């Protein structure tokens, strides 16, 4: 059997295919809807809310000197470039002008920009830019692509004349469509809101590839792509960009062992990242199965199928003496942002789910699956013995036991509910795992409870002012950040966009995806 590790020729072909599928994002010039002011409010999310304090048209009459600051509302979260028409009144400007521009996703981010940078990620992620303008009047298009809703302008250094901001445009971009597909008729208002916010999240993450978050990391991740693809299939149907994203990732399959990458970089030229995540590489079979379901190119999927099976082969090398998986040392197993989570059972569930997806894919494509049906039965049996004798210690384990078919039928329902009702069970740290819990509930027939979970978790973000869904949401800890500074969190994050999939295609969630 030939190696499934892609040859240089295959990689080149995928890169060429990715380039051919590139699409210039659609640009829409939008104008702010209000002048706002951050107001400290202990009852507001993260301690701040935005209060409307004027019409944006008032700005053109406001005279600004050094130290002047204004905040504007773009009306909704957007991704794009800021363009300003700057002028002056009074004596002609006889010095340059230095402006600080900031785009914030959340009110607290705008309000607390004065705090020194913190956290473990590069401080260049703060969308806080300074620009010097030599000539007025001018139209200044700020070069960086930014993401957020709240635009702040500060005159760092003016002169003895008055600056006037005569116009502000935000050149919004998306690889999807600017107008969101309307919520399905008959959906209760709160769920309809959740649907629209999910799709806005997807719209803003969908650029020239499926990004995880348009503020941070602005990058194509396999795990996010899989969840986005579900929501995409019931909304924007940007199949070409999904194919492009897959081709880019596939081209950067690790040469040493054929591990499918967790992410890659698109610019300035597509290039590899170093990250490999066990549960992300195992997402490839399901990604391909879903792409086929959405009418993706059959030949492309066929060319990627051996690579999908290869990932399962890698994972089969990680089995312990009991036939259950042991997360390999030195590899990153994600599952959830949760310190101390036992990832053994969840990863075993992921492997079973991946093998099941592969079998479905092989059947659709007419590929020879060899002994894989038997292998899956063996894995499920070993997983059941190892992890399903008692209620799972975590939502992660329970959800993935169900998604992997390690438990089925009424036993699956009982295991899942017992875990979700167990106050000692480890709860999800973020939306990525929450999605899998909701999906598992659908699989065991607990549709109402699944909807209630969407309503309480994603609806909780809505109550707290979200107009896109967040990377990190813990109602008990508003400033929680995996990065040491809440201002580094991404507030518009791909892996939070799946409620639309559950709400728009309830049938789909009754099978593994």
Residues forming the site for a copy of itself (CB under 8 A): 66, 91-92, 94-98, 117, 121-125, 129-130, 132-138, 144-145, 156-159, 217-219, 265, 267-268, 271-274
Report the relative pairing of strands 138-141 and 48-54 from DSSP bridges: unpaired
Closer by beta carbon to a copy of itself, 92 or else 409 = 92
**Cα gap 94→160, rounded to integer Å:** 8
Closer by beta carbon to a copy of itself, 145 or else 439 = 145
* Minimum separation from the CB atom of position 338 to a copy of itself (A): 22
Identify the DSSP state of 59: G
Both tokens assigned to 16: 């060429």
Identify the DSSP state of 64: B
Backbone angles phi, psi at 324, to 5 degrees: -100, 155
Closer by beta carbon to a copy of itself, 129 or else 411 = 129
* Minimum separation from the CB atom of position 53 to a copy of itself (A): 27
Omega before 199 within 30 of 0, i.e. cis: no
SS3 84: strand
* Minimum separation from the CB atom of position 208 to a copy of itself (A): 12
* Minimum separation from the CB atom of position 96 to a copy of itself (A): 4
Report DSSP letters for 459-504, one per residue. Answer: HHHHHTT-SS--S---TT-TT--TTS-GGGS-SS-GGG-THHHHHH
Closer by beta carbon to a copy of itself, 159 or else 285 = 159
* Minimum separation from the CB atom of position 153 to a copy of itself (A): 15
* Minimum separation from the CB atom of position 3 to a copy of itself (A): 25
Report DSSP letters for 395-461, one per residue. Answer: HHHHHHHHHTTSS-HHHHHHHHHHHHT-TTSBPPSSHHHHHHHHHHHHHTT-HHHHHHHHHHHHHHH
Closer by beta carbon to a copy of itself, 139 or else 456 = 139
Helix spans in 139-260 (H): 189-205, 222-233, 239-251
**Cα gap 486→426, rounded to integer Å:** 23
* Minimum separation from the CB atom of position 481 to a copy of itself (A): 15
Closer by beta carbon to a copy of itself, 267 or else 378 = 267
Closer by beta carbon to a copy of itself, 145 or else 380 = 145
* Minimum separation from the CB atom of position 33 to a copy of itself (A): 27
SS3 360: helix
Residues whose CB falls within 8 Å of the CB of residue 310, separated by 6 or more in sequence, listed in order: 4, 5, 258
Closer by beta carbon to a copy of itself, 143 or else 186 = 143
Closer by beta carbon to a copy of itself, 112 or else 243 = 112
Q: Determine contact, residues 106/46, Cβ cutoff 8 Å.
A: yes
Closer by beta carbon to a copy of itself, 220 or else 359 = 220
Q: Determine contact, residues 388/346, Cβ cutoff 8 Å.
A: no
- Going by C-alpha positions, the residue among 147, 196, 195 that lies closest to residue 172 is 147
Closer by beta carbon to a copy of itself, 255 or else 463 = 255
Residue 265: count of CB within 10 angstroms of its CB = 17
**Cα gap 351→357, rounded to integer Å:** 10
Closer by beta carbon to a copy of itself, 273 or else 462 = 273
* Minimum separation from the CB atom of position 121 to a copy of itself (A): 6
Distances (CA, A) of 90 to 16, 94, 159, 160, 164: 56, 11, 11, 9, 10
* Minimum separation from the CB atom of position 84 to a copy of itself (A): 14
SS3 373: helix
* Minimum separation from the CB atom of position 127 to a copy of itself (A): 9
* Minimum separation from the CB atom of position 154 to a copy of itself (A): 13
SS3 103: strand
Report the relative pairing of strands 220-221 and 263-265 from DSSP bridges: antiparallel
């Amino acid at each position: 059997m030939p190696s499934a590790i892609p040859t240089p020729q295959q990689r080149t072909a995928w890169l060429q295919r990715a380039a051919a599928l590139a699409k210039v994002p659609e640009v829409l010039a939008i104008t702010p809807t209000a002048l706002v002011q951050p107001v400290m409010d202990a009852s507001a999310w993260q301690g701040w809310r935005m209060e409307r304090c004027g019409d944006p048209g008032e700005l053109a009459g406001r005279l600004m000197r050094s130290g002047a600051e204004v905040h504007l509302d773009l009306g909704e979260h957007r991704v794009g470039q800021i363009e300003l028409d700057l002028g002056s009144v009074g004596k002609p400007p006889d010095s340059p002008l230095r402006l600080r521009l900031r785009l914030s996703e959340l009110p607290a981010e705008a309000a607390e920009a004065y705090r020194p940078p913190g956290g473990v990620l590069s401080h260049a992620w703060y969308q806080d830019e300074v620009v010097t303008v030599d000539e007025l009047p001018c139209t200044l298009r700020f070069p960086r692509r930014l993401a957020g809703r709240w635009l702040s302008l500060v005159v760092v250094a003016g002169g003895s004349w008055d600056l006037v901001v005569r116009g502000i445009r935000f050149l919004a971009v998306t690889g999807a469509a600017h107008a969101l597909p309307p919520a399905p008729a008959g959906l209760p208002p709160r769920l309809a809101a959740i649907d629209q916010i999910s799709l806005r999240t997807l719209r803003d993450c969908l650029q020239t590839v499926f990004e995880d978050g348009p503020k941070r990391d602005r990058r194509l991740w396999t795990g996010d792509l899989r969840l986005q693809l579900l929501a995409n299939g019931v909304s924007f149907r940007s199949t070409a960009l999904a194919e492009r994203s897959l081709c880019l990732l596939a081209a950067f399959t690790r040469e040493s062992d054929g591990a499918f990458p967790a992410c890659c970089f698109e610019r300035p030229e597509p290039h590899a990242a170093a990250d490999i995540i066990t549960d992300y590489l195992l997402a490839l079979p399901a990604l391909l199965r879903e792409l086929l379901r959405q009418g993706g190119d059959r030949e492309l999927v066929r060319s990627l199928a051996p690579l999908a099976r290869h990932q399962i082969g890698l994972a089969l090398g990680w089995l312990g003496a009991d036939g259950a998986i042991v997360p390999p040392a030195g590899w990153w197993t994600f599952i959830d942002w949760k310190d101390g989570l036992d990832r053994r059972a969840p990863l075993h569930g992921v492997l079973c789910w991946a093998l099941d997806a592969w079998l479905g894919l092989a059947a659709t494509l007419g590929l020879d699956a060899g002994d894989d049906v038997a292998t899956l039965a063996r894995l499920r049996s070993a997983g059941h013995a190892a992890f399903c004798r008692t209620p799972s210690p975590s939502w992660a384990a329970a959800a993935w036991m169900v998604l992997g078919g390690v438990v089925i039928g009424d036993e699956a329902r009982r295991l899942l509910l017992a875990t979700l009702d167990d106050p000692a069970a480890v709860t999800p740290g973020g939306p990525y795992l929450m999605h899998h819990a909701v999906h598992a509930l659908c699989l065991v027939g607990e549709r109402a409870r699944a909807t209630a979970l969407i309503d309480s978790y994603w609806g909780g973000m809505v109550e707290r002012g979200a107009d896109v869904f967040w990377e990190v949401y813990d109602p008990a800890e508003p400033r929680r950040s995996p990065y040491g500074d809440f201002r580094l969190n991404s507030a518009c994050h791909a892996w939070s966009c799946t409620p639309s999939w559950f709400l728009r295609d309830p049938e789909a969630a009754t099978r593994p995806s």
